[in-house]
Structure 1
Amino acid sequence: MRLHFVPVLVLALVLGAAARTLETSSSPRRLLLISFDGFRWNYDQDVETPNLDQLVLDGVKAPYITPPMLTMTSPSHFTTITGRWVEDHEVVHNMMFNSTTNQKLPHKQAMLRSEWWDNGVLPLWITAQNQGLKTGSFYFPGGSVNYSGQSLHRSVPQEARRPNDNETEWQQNIETVLGWFSKENFNLVTLYFNEPDNVGHRVGPDTPRRKEIVRQIDRIVGFLRDAIARHGLADDLDVVITSDHGMTTVKKRPAVEEIVLNKYLNLLKLASFEILDYGGFGIVTPRPGKEQEVFDKLSLVPNVTVYKTRDMPESFHLGKSERLPPIVVIADLGFNLNSRFIVYVNKGDHGFHNWEMDMKTIFRAFGPSFKKNFVSEPFDSVHIYPLMCKLLGIQPAPHNGSLAVTEDMLNSGGSCRLSVAVLLVGLLFALL
């Protein structure tokens, strides 16, 4: 009797371990996507950032990632959450506009208008919900509108005129979204912070204040790690941290002549619609029969490149857009477009070509699905979408990304542990 007792006891222990392994491997997939708006790829290289540095050891990092053209908040975030190029998802500006009626709505008002976002491309939230998962958004662009009449399980829209850099409020927001996971069984939550973009615009990216806000972001990453542990989520929550674009210093100094487009053409006479006082990216609808004249005159403006929308380089993934006007103007790095008067006040900006290093941004990820101390090759942000679908265990909607770009970041420890447990059980049965 005693001779049989030991293997039976061992068998029971191994079966229990295998059951726990199986239970862990089949637990609900949970993913937190965090965006720090305007976090340039090298912002952590001139500031002490112990918590971001620890993420490199505890997870994965890309040296930088390339946002889509356009390097603006709404277009770039929607590429991340849909895996589609801007010409496909058609969120082609921060401002909501109609070039026929001349309607223009500012960024934060456009955030709440479904007709600007709902263009037939489903974001990850809705795709996940249609496959039985529970999703939420806290301030994330595109998260507070309806898609084909369907909204997220929960969304908190960003309030206008609310302070962007209140660290206590940041901590409260993290506690809120982690509570959605730990208390209400959410599977996917997206969380957005408006810094360091706000500081980069206001005082410029190469300033002590920008370094100070990066230190604050580093502290909030440390707070996040501690809060994940307190909420009991360390074993099943994956976290992806990224951004939408970088930031560059605007060359406002006496030696640099400001770009004023009306010096080169009569905008009132030649254009019926324009958005030209919005950083380094501008759009123009010429009056009937005036397209070539507008194009030729804008081509004479120094420090800009003018494109006919349909003739833009294929690599921009903008030329097929039905929403963009016929003429697109992109300023050289560090210059801003002024239409008739010099009204621009920002010290830093984005919206420039995405090949510029100042427009590149960050990527960090950690959690049970990710390898540790792994540095990937740089990649385009469009590839984050299939990675997130893999983490959530769902079938992606049609997209322009590729899982092959990011799958080396993922480990396979859970399946290996399960295989070993099953093998041990088999061996013990054979011995008995």
Structure 2
Amino acid sequence: MKLEILLAFGFSLFVDSKPLSNIGGRKFNKLLLISFDGFRWNYDQDVDTPNLDKLVQEGVKAKYITPPMITMTSPSHFTTITGRWIEDHGVVHNMMFNSTTLLKLSHKATLKRSEWWDNGALPLWITAQNQGLKTASYFYPGGGVSYAGQSVNRSLVETFGHADDNETEWREKIDTVMGWYTKDDFDFVTLYYGEPDNVGHRVGPETPQRKKIIEQIDRTIGYLTESIQKNNLTDHLNVIITSDHGMTTIKKSPEVEEIKLSNYINFKNLSHFELLDYGGFGMLRPRKGKEQEVFDALKHAHPNLTVYKKEDIPEHFHIAKNSRIQDLVLIGDLGFNLNSRYIFYVNKGDHSFSNQEMDMKVIFRAFGPDFKKNVLAEPFDSVSIYPLMCKLLGVKPAPNNGSLSDTEVMLVNDIGGNAGRMQMSISLFATTILILAVI
């Protein structure tokens, strides 16, 4: 009789204490981070987005989040995955460059160049792997290189000429990622989509084409939630959806006087190296001994241009302390692109303007078993996504500049609690054996 009681009681304990996920006894759920490049914070407010709207009820929405000061794809994505400011992680531009050799490489050419990304700040993939987790990256910037000799367990890197707007492929990506979780038991995956950035550049943010791509994104979110249910991951997978920067309409002549720096300086005589013609953020290294002359020529050159000497860059930009930042930093007012010698810029929309501009702010949505429901969170800096992800994964964070206090309000109180209850139940089961043995 005692054995029957013992077995029945023990069975009830284990049924009640089912672990959160089948990830090798770990007590934390899996995590998926999705980035939609160039998804401005309010892009869903003038479009019918039933699936994104549903996520607001079933999870968390932040009013908006603020990307780092250099509102470009590579710097911003790397801030999210490292939790470090740009001056700390060193990815200061989309282009890989060397101001001594005059090397310049395009964004996609950098995606397999470890020397551009590996500057001492470990991304979450590597930190998580060092603590026993399996991680993967699907097109996420920085996921295809090695860090101190370590590579992401599995990575796919976007190639030149890749079509970013193929809806069928978008769904295939989700199918692949679901397989990584269910068949290969990955714990943390980052997934990147190149839209709505491309549409925003090509035709501008305030266009029917942009609204159409947001509708496509919304359908993809619907497909994602269906796939999570289909793969029995609803109770085991947390999802964060965010972006790297916003988008604004570029101001063009004759409506405005565009910024053309060759009107004010002679590049041949005064410039050693420059990164310009790339939106509203630029850098310039004058020839030796010409620094003050160039600064004086540019500081009042155009009413919509601000120029900083490196030593005078405001501290809250969090960019000045990195050696890759050049002698002069140039910032255009919202919508004013920085043209160097000629105005040949064809983009209708762009980013890389100050992160304090509302057009540069981005979305944040999150849902899953560890997130509260129907929560509207206050704005926060994207650097704080990192400690949130560490908390969700049970990872001890590497040094970072984020703050968990920015996001704690989003979370349920017992992350990892079910697994903890399972451990307690095992102890309780052992105690029961002793008690029944004495009876």
TM-score with structure 2 length normalisation?
0.92
Q: Is the 8 A contact 2:28 2:415 kept in 1?
A: no
Deviations 1:219-239 (A, max 9, x none): 000000011111221111111
Equivalences for residues 17-416 of structure 1 within 5 A: 17-21=15-19, 26-27=26-27, 29-302=29-302, 303-413=304-414
The letter for the 1-side match of 2:342 is F
The amino acid of 1:20's aligned partner reads: K
Pairwise CA distance, 1:17:
2.6
C-alpha displacement of 1:324: 1.0
Letter in 2 for 1:411: V
Do the aligned partners of 1:61 and 1:376 also contact (CA within 8 Å) in 2? yes
CA contact 1:331–1:337 (8 Å) conserved in 2: yes
2:9 match: 11
Letter paired with 1:18: D
Q: Cα distance 1:146–1:335, how it changes in 2: closer, same or farther (>3 A)?
A: same
SS class of match (1:41): coil
Deviation, 1:255, is 2.0
Q: Deviations over 1:368-406 (max 9, x none)?
A: 111111111100000000111111111111100111111
Pairwise CA distance, 1:351: 0.4
Inter-CA distance 263–397: structure 2 relative to 1 (3 Å threshold): same
Shift of 1:415: 6.1
Give ranges in structure 2 of 5+ residues lacking alignment. none
Inter-CA distance 248–17: structure 2 relative to 1 (3 Å threshold): same
CA contact (8 A) 2:370 2:412 kept: yes
Give the secondary structure class of the aligned counterpart of 2:322: coil
Query: C-alpha displacement at 1:11, in angstroms?
Result: 3.1
Following the alignment from structure 1 to structure 2, what is the Cα–Cα distance between the partners of residues 416 and 364?
A: 23
Structure 1 position 8, deviation (Å) = 6.6
Judge which range, 322-331 or 252-261, deviates more.
252-261
Give the Cα–Cα distance (whole angstroms) in 2 for the partners of residues 362 and 255 of structure 1: 30
Q: Deviations over 1:297-316 (max 9, x none)?
A: 11122111001122111100
Q: Judging changes above 3 Å, is the alpha-carbon distance between structure 1 residues 5 and 143 closer, same or farther for their aligned structure 2 residues?
A: closer
Letter in 2 for 1:406: T
CA spacing shift, 1:417–1:325, aligned 2, 3 Å: closer
**1:18–1:418 CA contact under 8 A, matched in 2:** no
TM-aligned CA distance change 1:375 to 1:321, over 3 Å? same
Identity among equivalent pairs (%): 62
Q: TM-score, normalised by structure 1?
A: 0.94
How far 1:426 sits from its partner (Å)?
Answer: 7.2
* More off after superposition, 315-324 vs 5-14: 5-14
2:184 partner letter: E
Q: CA deviation at 1:18?
A: 3.4
Post-superposition Cα deviations, 1:237-288, rounded to whole Å, max 9, x if no partner, equal 1111100000000112422122110001111111100111111111100111
Per the alignment, in what secondary structure is the counterpart of residue 128 of structure 1? helix
For residues 158 and 390 of structure 2, the distance between their equivalents in structure 1, rounded to whole angstroms, comes to 25
Check the 8 A contact 1:27/1:236 in 2, yes or no: no
Residue type matched to 1:203 in 2? Answer: V
State the alpha-carbon separation in 2 of the partners of residues 326 and 17 from structure 1.
Answer: 64
Instruction: Answer yes or no: is the 8 Å Cα contact 1:28–1:187 preserved in 2.
Output: no
User: What is the distance in 2 between the residues matched to 1:353 and 1:414?
Assistant: 36
Report the aligned-residue RMSD: 2.4
